[in-house]
Chain A
Amino acid sequence: MREFTLKSTITYKVYRQLLIILEDFLSTIGDIVIYAGKVISFIFKRELAWKEIIYQCARFGVSSLPITLSIVGMSSVIVAMQVAGEMVKQGAGNFVGMLVAILVVREAGIIMSGFAIISMIGSSIASEIATMRVTEQIDAIRVLKVDPIRYLFVPRVLSGILMMPPVLVVSSLVGIVGGGIASHLASGLSYRAFFESVWSGLFIKDMNVALLKAVVFGFTIALISCVCGYNAKGGAKGVGEATTKAVVWSFVGIVLWDLLFSIIFFF
């Protein structure tokens, strides 16, 4: 017969598992805050690995643009197709462009870009740094007395901050143009009518907020992905777990930021 002890009860095991999850949750938040501080301090001290920064920025742009353009473009095509026909029928064809512009600039452009960047850039940052961790490359960097935060984190976070706004601008433009084409094809709305009304949907404040969001999201995604990769443990399994964690935390992170921005700027 098995010995009955407190440690063998289901309640104890569930309770223990929950504690482990809570501990991991809190320590991840702590790490994100601490590393954010370190990264920002390197940026302000201008202690930068320039070659690596340029390389990371180029990589960010090249690998994120195709997917971001497709996703933002397609989202606004879908919306335009859904609403253009109905609006034209109701005599509100003149507002389709405005609606698409507001939608893309305020929300769809940035959030869809964010999701695309997480899946493209965030996952690759996390898996790369996690692989460097489990193959002792990070230990090697530390033994050579080079700060891994300066060498690995700062260039990736900077590439997020610097590249996300231009990527957002290009993808939003593509989204609005795509919406115009879709409205034209789906309901015969003239390009002229569409683009004239786009102007009335573009507000300076919306655009500024969107660019600010782009900077904050780029920072958040890159930083969370670096931290999750850096804390990876174990072999191939650890790399997989770190990548999943980076993607999930980044998603939650940017949605929370989005909520906060909505409350601050539009409430």
Chain B
Amino acid sequence: MSIEVKNLIKRFDEKTVIDNISFKVDSGEILAIVGFSGSGKSTVLKLICGLIEKDGGEITTSGDIAMVFQYSALIDSLNVADNISFALRERKDLRKKYTEAQIRQIVREKLALVGLSGVENKFPSELSGGMQKRVSFARAIVTSPNIILYDEPTAGLDPVSSTLIEDYIVRLKEETHAASIVVTHQMSTIMRTADKIIMLYNGKVVFTGTPQDLMRQDTPYTKQFVTASLDGPMKMLQG
């Protein structure tokens, strides 16, 4: 077991944003968390990686956690190589563990893994959105994490770049055997990466199943989600 979430609760002010949700993700498995904007998907990831504190429930994780942010969140004053090697140079338990030559080698390997090479000295602002995203993948896996969290990895990318990113998500899972969570509302990403799915609405789990279960559209929630309909149990523009 790599991630286990039990009866998780999170409130912002008086509003309950995560309302008693539970799920498990094994190593080598990809869970997709889907749902419309504001349903609490990013909040779940931030709770798992410890960026925010939970108000109730349990989160059990084993090993190192990496997170890939929606807008890449590369440090814009550092070049690609320094972004990727950031944890190796600055993290307390890793500092001084590697020589410069080793760090350069690791950076080259991780870049190759996401299909990039020769961009070490470029700054994030000189790269396209899809390339920034891939650099942020390389940065996330530099410490060989056991858990990888992706927040909307394909949002805002063109279809071909999306496909490429989806392939890398699957490939990184195979290479690292990590437990992964992909937050998305893009059908292609769900279908191409997920082993299983949970759907959130107003902080509650309203569907659990496989991509095939989702496509069967045999619940009001899955039907509304797959057909992207305004009619259904999930109301937009709430709160």
- A interface residues, Cβ below 8 angstroms from B: 47, 49, 128, 132, 135-137, 139-147, 150-151
Contact = CB atoms under 8 A, between A and B. Distances in A.
A261 to B, nearest CB: 35
Interface in B174-197: none
B73 interface: yes
Interface in B52-101: 65-67, 69-71, 73-77, 86-87, 90-93
A137 B76 contact: yes
A46 B53 CA distance: 30
A143 B75 contact: no
Contacts of A141: 75, 86
B49 interface: yes
B230 interface: no
B51 A132 contact: no
A139 B51 contact: yes
Contacts of B91: 144-146
Contacts of B70: 136
A144 B85 CA distance: 11
* 6 interchain residue pairs of minimum CB distance: A140-B73, A136-B73, A144-B87, A146-B90, A143-B67, A136-B69
Given A139-B51, A140-B67, A146 B86 contact: yes
B74 A144 contact: no
Secondary structure call for the B interface: loop
A143 B65 contact: yes
Given A135-B71, A136-B71, A143 B51 contact: yes
A135 B72 CA distance: 9
Contacts of A151: 90
Contacts of B87: 144-146
B92 to A, nearest CB: 8
Contacts of A146: 86-87, 90-91
B41 to A, nearest CB: 15
5 contacts: A47-B92, A128-B77, A135-B76, A145-B87, A146-B90
A227 B49 CA distance: 23
Nearest to B65: A143
Contacts of B136: 140
B67 A132 contact: no
Nearest to A140: B73
A140 B66 contact: no
Contacts of A49: 90
A201 to B, nearest CB: 43
Contact of A135 (B65, B73, B143): B73
A16 B202 CA distance: 30
A143 B69 CA distance: 10
Given A136-B69, A136-B71, A139-B69, A144 B86 contact: yes
Contact of A137 (B65, B74, B90): B74
Interface string B3-37: 00000000000000000000000000000000000
A139 B49 CA distance: 10
Given A143-B65, A143-B66, A146-B91, A137 B73 contact: yes
Contacts of A136: 69-71, 73
A16 B238 CA distance: 26
The winner among A128, A135, A150 for most chain B CB atoms within 10 A is A135
Given A139-B73, A143-B49, A146-B91, 12 more contacts: A132-B75, A135-B73, A135-B76, A136-B71, A136-B73, A137-B73, A137-B74, A142-B50, A144-B87, A144-B90, A144-B139, A146-B90
A23 to B, nearest CB: 14
A136 B75 CA distance: 9
Contacts of A140: 67, 69, 73-75, 136, 139
A146 B83 CA distance: 12
A259 B136 CA distance: 48
Given A49-B90, A137-B76, A151-B90, A142 B51 contact: yes
The winner among A132, A143, A145 for most chain B CB atoms within 10 A is A143
Interface string B122-153: 00000000000000100100010000000000
A132 B73 CA distance: 8
A143 B141 CA distance: 12
Interface in B153-205: none
Contacts of A143: 49-51, 65-67
A17 B75 CA distance: 36
B26 to A, nearest CB: 22
A49 B70 CA distance: 28
A146 B142 CA distance: 14
